[in-house]
């Protein structure tokens, strides 16, 4: 082994003058990076080598490593560094989650956090997760193989996530005889590809993780290479926080600190810029302005705080400001919008349902949001655009996102904290997607709400009634339409102004363009919800009879209405009973396979968890059911 003397030997200073050592080390900076490549590229060997050369391996670990190397290593009598970090390979054999592992090492100048993720296509979400916090990416190439499909995939993802520093580590140079031509051919190939996807610059280094060439210092084996070795480069690269400090001041309010009536502090991490007492600021989206009074800390007030620090500030004026709002430099406010074009990386086993409401968390704010059908999906291997109606696990696509209220944001390319978001499923609470906001859609800015003089209260009082939505949900054949019809007749006799929206009827007109896929069912209910809302604004009592099988959409409609106006009525009929009735002969068709996506047969029905009313149709007649519903409405 051509082991060079590690230049990171610090034992002497530690032993001779520990105080000087500590003083020096308190001023280290930190760099987070990601290594992209597969086991075959020597990724684990490289990470193991970095840990070893920076003395992060203890004697007991080294002893274990030496014995493991002899037993199961692939490097003969030499130490197999890959075994140090190859937890992932072992996991794959055992069928445990392949995941992101974080590893730590330090040199004289820096502490490093390495996100170690598997490189195969089925682990795109893991790579995206690891890359989301990285300042730099090391893209590994096997010198014998050159630029491969996976190299292109990794580079595309790294660029998409806005990592500005890319190191192209051409590995296993020892196996190609340290040939300059091989290295230069690979670099030229890569440069052509990198430019085509918008990577402006990268640093190529010929290395051998196994032999240690160009890791800690220049290698004698590559006299033709005069660029930096890997570790010195990692020590010098500019970290993201320093760059963020140059931008205008932005802080997402995380928590309001109120120990007593005399103190009101706003806590959060500064996403961009700097702040000093006396700086004029604006709170978004409200737009209220004030000036910074103090930057408060346990050690006493500070006169400066910068991007990347978690701080508590107070303002000179008593203005409204709460979690989720953003405090910004008053002369350079952020854009505020509710419709965006975004990139989504889908991370869940369940695919995207366009139109469904998800929680969207951006910074410290969580809002409800829907995603439109993707404009296109990206093939991560070829970067081709594909037509797609949805996104499934590991898919990446471009889609419009609409939030239920306006949020302050910055394009992701400008700032990760202000432009990166996650989507959360409202039922399972899983994180289903990562998203990058690109720009606000004009539509949102140009369409304003027109105030009208005759309001909803006026409409309702003319009819001497309180508007409501009686939302009947249940299986096909449960009796929704029958019951709804009786309810409307009874209400008409009581001089109530009503309207009945029936599932089948609506599909003849308003929704005749929709089918029965999950996405179409969501859109069906959304439109009916909007119509019902207009009708309640007009003062009507709306009765609806829709299967409406998904909890998320029923909750979405509930959210559209005024509190208390939505009455969920679960028409509860066991599947066997509904199927035996089979008034329209639909169950028979579904069972024979002529009808797809039929609720209860090959499409799920999510029963309500806490409906306002539950009607057991095996226990009561439609007439009795109608009376029960009316009693709930008019006590």
Partner 1 sequence: MDTKTLTHLQRLEAESIHILREVVAEAENPVMLYSVGKDSAVMLHLAKKAFYPSPPPFPLLHVDTTWKFQDMYKLRDKAAADAGMELLVYQNPEAKERGINPFDHGGLHTDMWKTEGLKQALDKYGFDVAFGGARRDEEKSRAKERVFSFRSANHRWDPKNQRPELWRLYNARKTKGESVRVFPISNWTELDIWQYIHLENIEIVPLYFSQPRPTVERDGLLLMVDDERFPLAEGEEPVMRSIRFRTLGCYPLTGAVESEAQTLPEVIQEMLLTTTSERQGRAIDHDQAASMEKKKQEGYF
Contacting range for partner 1; rule: CB under 8 A; set: 254-262, 402-410, 524-532, 565-573: 254-262
Nearest to 311 by CA among 266, 257, 357: 266
CB of 557 to partner 1, least distance (A): 21
Q: Kindly determine how many residues on this chain lie close enough to bind partner 1 according to the rule CB under 8 A.
A: 78
Residue 254 sits in the site that holds partner 1 (CB under 8 A): yes
State the Cα angle at 249 between 247 and 252, rounded to 5°: 120
Residue 196 sits in the site that holds partner 1 (CB under 8 A): no
Choice between 89 and 628, CB closer to partner 1 = 89
Residue 108 sits in the site that holds partner 1 (CB under 8 A): no
Q: Which residue has the tokens 């949805």?
A: 390
Sign of CA dihedral 157, 161, 167, 169: negative
Specify whether the CB–CB gap between 250 and 270 falls below 8 A: yes
- Alpha-carbon gap, residue 487 to 570, rounded angstroms: 15
CB of 365 to partner 1, least distance (A): 11
To the query of whether residue 548 is one of the catalytic residues in this protein, the response is: yes
Residue 38 sits in the site that holds partner 1 (CB under 8 A): no
Residue 562 sits in the site that holds partner 1 (CB under 8 A): no
With CB under 8 A as the contact rule, the residue among 24, 39, 101, 148 that binds partner 1 is: 101
The two three-digit tokens of residue 576, written as one number? 């066997």
Contacting range for partner 1; rule: CB under 8 A; set: 120-128, 282-290, 453-461, 556-564: 120-128
Residue 351 sits in the site that holds partner 1 (CB under 8 A): no
Choice between 110 and 356, CB closer to partner 1 = 110
Nearest to 52 by CA among 42, 43, 61, 40: 61
CB of 425 to partner 1, least distance (A): 9
Residue 67 sits in the site that holds partner 1 (CB under 8 A): no
Residue 100 sits in the site that holds partner 1 (CB under 8 A): yes
Concatenated DSSP letters of 327-396: EEETTSPPEEEEEEEEEEEE-SSSPP-TT-EEEEEETTEEEEEEEPPPSEEE-TTT--EE--S---TT-E
Choice between 328 and 434, CB closer to partner 1 = 434
CB of 14 to partner 1, least distance (A): 5
The two three-digit tokens of residue 432, written as one number? 């289903």
Residue 54 sits in the site that holds partner 1 (CB under 8 A): no
Residues 125-144 that bind partner 1 (CB under 8 A): 125-126, 128-129, 132-133
Residue 110 sits in the site that holds partner 1 (CB under 8 A): yes
CB of 417 to partner 1, least distance (A): 6
Choice between 83 and 578, CB closer to partner 1 = 83
Single out the catalytic residue among 196, 476, 548, 592. 548
With CB under 8 A as the contact rule, the residue among 431, 517, 562, 597 that binds partner 1 is: 431
Upstream peptide bond of 54 is cis (omega within 30 degrees of 0)? no
Residue 452 sits in the site that holds partner 1 (CB under 8 A): no
Beta carbons within 8 Å of 88's beta carbon, 6+ residues apart: 39, 44, 98, 99, 101, 116, 118
Q: Which residue has the tokens 């390979």?
A: 89
Neighbours of 235 (CB within 10 A): 17
Residue 485 sits in the site that holds partner 1 (CB under 8 A): no
Contacting range for partner 1; rule: CB under 8 A; set: 13-21, 449-457, 467-475, 560-568: 13-21
Choice between 60 and 320, CB closer to partner 1 = 60
Phi-psi region of 172 (alpha: psi -120 to 50; beta: other; left: phi over 0): left
- Alpha-carbon gap, residue 77 to 71, rounded angstroms: 10
CB of 165 to partner 1, least distance (A): 17
Site string for partner 1, 79-98 (x = CB under 8 A): --------x--------xx-
Choice between 270 and 334, CB closer to partner 1 = 270
Contacting range for partner 1; rule: CB under 8 A; set: 358-366, 471-479, 563-571, 594-602: 358-366
Residues 265-304 that bind partner 1 (CB under 8 A): 265, 267-269, 274, 296-298, 304
With CB under 8 A as the contact rule, the residue among 241, 406, 414, 565 that binds partner 1 is: 241
Nearest to 332 by CA among 248, 275, 436, 455: 248
Cα-based distances in Å from 256 to 333, 499, 626: 21, 46, 49
Residues 390-429 that bind partner 1 (CB under 8 A): 416-417, 420-422, 424, 429
Beta carbons within 8 Å of 142's beta carbon, 6+ residues apart: 40, 41, 42, 171, 172
Q: State the burial class of residue 241 (Cβ atoms within 10 Å of its Cβ: 0-12, 13-18, 19+).
A: middle
Residues 304-343 that bind partner 1 (CB under 8 A): 304, 306, 308-310, 312, 323
Choice between 101 and 237, CB closer to partner 1 = 101
Beta carbons within 8 Å of 6's beta carbon, 6+ residues apart: 53, 54, 55, 216
Buried b / exposed e over 284-297, threshold 16 CB at 10 Å, is: bbeeeebebebbbe
Residue 25 sits in the site that holds partner 1 (CB under 8 A): yes
Annotated catalytic residues are: 548
């Amino acid at each position: 082994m051509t082991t060079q003397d590690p230049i990171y030997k610090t034992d002497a200073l530690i032993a001779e003058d520990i105080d000087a050592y500590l003083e020096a080390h308190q001023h280290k900076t930190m760099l987070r990076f990601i290594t992209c490549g597969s086991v075959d590229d020597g990724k684990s060997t490289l990470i193991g080598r970095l840990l070893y050369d920076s003395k992060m391996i203890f004697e007991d670990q080294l002893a274990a490593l030496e014995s493991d190397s002899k037993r199961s290593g692939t490097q003969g009598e030499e130490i197999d560094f890959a075994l140090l970090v190859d937890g992932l390979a072992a996991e794959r054999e055992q069928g445990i989650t392949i995941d992101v592992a974080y590893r730590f090492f330090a040199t004289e100048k820096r502490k490093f956090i390495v996100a170690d993720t598997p490189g195969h296509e089925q682990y795109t979400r893991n790579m995206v997760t690891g890359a989301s916090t990285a300042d730099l990416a090391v893209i590994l190439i096997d010198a014998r193989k050159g630029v491969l499909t996976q190299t292109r995939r990794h580079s595309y993802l790294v660029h998409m996530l806005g990592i500005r520093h890319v190191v192209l580590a051409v590995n296993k140079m020892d196996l190609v005889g340290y040939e300059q031509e091989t290295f230069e051919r690979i670099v030229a190939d890569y440069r052509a590809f990198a430019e085509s996807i918008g990577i402006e610059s990268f640093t190529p280094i010929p290395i051998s993780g196994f032999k240690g060439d160009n890791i800690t210092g220049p290698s004698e084996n590559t006299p033709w290479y005069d660029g930096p070795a890997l570790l010195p480069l990692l020590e010098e690269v500019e970290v993201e926080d320093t760059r963020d400090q140059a931008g205008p001041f932005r802080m997402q309010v995380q928590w309001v600190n109120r120990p007593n009536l005399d103190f009101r502090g706003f806590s959060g991490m500064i996403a961009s810029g700097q702040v000093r007492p006396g700086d004029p600021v604006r709170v978004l989206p409200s737009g209220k302005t004030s000036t910074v009074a103090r930057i408060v800390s346990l050690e006493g007030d500070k006169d400066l705080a910068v991007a990347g620090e978690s701080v508590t500030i107070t303002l000179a004026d008593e203005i409204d400001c709460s979690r989720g709002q953003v405090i910004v430099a008053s002369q350079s406010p952020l854009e505020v919008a509710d419709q965006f074009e975004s990139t989504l990386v889908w991370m869940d086993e369940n695919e995207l349902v366009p139109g469904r409401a998800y929680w969207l968390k951006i910074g410290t704010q969580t809002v409800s949001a829907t995603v439109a059908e993707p404009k296109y999906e990206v093939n991560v291997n070829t970067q081709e655009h594909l037509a797609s109606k949805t996104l499934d696990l590991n898919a990446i696509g471009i889609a419009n996102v609409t939030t239920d209220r306006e949020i302050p944001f910055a394009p992701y390319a400008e700032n990760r904290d202000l432009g990166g978001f996650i989507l959360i499923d409202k039922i399972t609470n899983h994180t289903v997607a990562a998203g990058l906001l690109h720009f606000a859609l004009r539509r949102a800015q140009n369409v304003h709400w027109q105030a009208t003089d005759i309001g909803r209260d006026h409409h309702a009082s003319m009819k001497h009634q309180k508007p409501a939505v009686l939302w009947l949900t249940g299986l096909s054949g449960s009796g929704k339409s029958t019951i709804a019809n009786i309810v409307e007749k009874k209400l008409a006799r009581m001089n109530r102004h009503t309207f009945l929206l029936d599932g089948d009827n609506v599909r003849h007109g308003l929704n005749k363009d929709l089918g029965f896929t999950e996405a179409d069912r969501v859109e069906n209910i959304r439109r009916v919800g909007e119509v019902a809302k207009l009708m309640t604004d007009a003062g009507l009592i709306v009765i609806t009879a829709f299967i409406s099988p998904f909890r998320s959409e029923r909750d979405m409609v509930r959210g559209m209405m005024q509190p208390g106006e939505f009455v969920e009525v679960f028409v509860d009929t066991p599947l066997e009973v509904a199927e035996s009735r089979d008034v329209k002969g639909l169950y028979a068709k579904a069972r024979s396979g002529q009808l797809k996506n039929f609720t209860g047969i090959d499409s799920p029905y999510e029963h309500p968890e806490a409906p306002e009313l539950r009607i057991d149709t095996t226990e009561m007649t439609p007439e009795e059911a109608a009376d029960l519903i009316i009693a709930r409405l008019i006590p």
